[in-house]
Amino acid sequence: MIPSGVEIVYKPLDEMLACAGEANVIFTSTASETPLFLKEHVESLPLPGSCCCQQRRHGEEGNGSSGYNNRGN
């Protein structure tokens, strides 16, 4: 169940990095053997406070994402 006040926006994979730069939280999970979301991608995102988000926490590096969460705050 999604908690009240949480908005999950699903977008196509080719929009993932653009949306990640605006997201407060990013959940990464995939069965892909090829990483889709790398440390280099995260390093190129805008710094916290330079976009709509106030704080960004980077999760574990690893095996990419086929989805992401953008609360839109």
In this predicted model, what pLDDT tens digit does every residue of 8-18 receive, in sequence order? 878 888 888 88
3-state DSSP call for residue 67? coil
Helix, strand, coil shares of the chain as percentages rounded to 5?
20, 5, 80
Would you state the pLDDT for residue 33?
86
48 CB contacts (<8 Å, ≥6 apart)?
54, 55, 56
Mean of the per-residue pLDDT values for the chain?
68
Compute the average pLDDT of residues 43-60.
56
Categorize the per-residue pLDDT at 48 as very low, low, confident or very high, splitting at 50, 70 and 90. low
Q: Given the structure tokens 């994979």, which residue do they identify?
A: 13
State which amino acid sits at residue 55.
Answer: Q
d(CA 21, CA 56): 9
